[in-house]
């Protein structure tokens, strides 16, 4: 299993808000400005790619 590592160089920080993926507070912002942990986004992206590979793609990108 290949580990996804997102390019977070365009990411930032902001006021503490619930992570969009796990719901725990975070100050981390994705490069698109979504409040979420980098590790959560990486796990989510990995899960999405697994879904895509299995042919059941659904909604668009979240972060």
Interface with Zn ion (CB under 5 A):
19, 21-22, 37, 40
Least distance between Zn ion and beta carbon 55 (Å): 27
Rank residues 7 and 56 by Cβ distance to Zn ion and give the closer one: 7
Which string of DSSP letters, residue by residue, matches 22-61?
T-SEEEEE-TTS-B--HHHHHHHHHHHHHHHHTT---S--
Least distance between Zn ion and beta carbon 40 (Å): 3
Rank residues 6 and 19 by Cβ distance to Zn ion and give the closer one: 19
- How far apart are the two ends of the chain, measured CA to CA in Å? 22
């Amino acid at each position: 299993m290949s580990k996804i590592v997102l390019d977070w160089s365009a990411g930032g920080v902001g006021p503490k808000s619930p992570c969009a993926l796990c719901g725990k507070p975070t100050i981390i912002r994705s490069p698109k400005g979504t409040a979420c942990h980098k590790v959560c986004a990486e796990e989510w992206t990995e899960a999405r790619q697994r879904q895509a590979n299995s042919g059941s793609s659904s909604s668009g990108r979240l972060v």
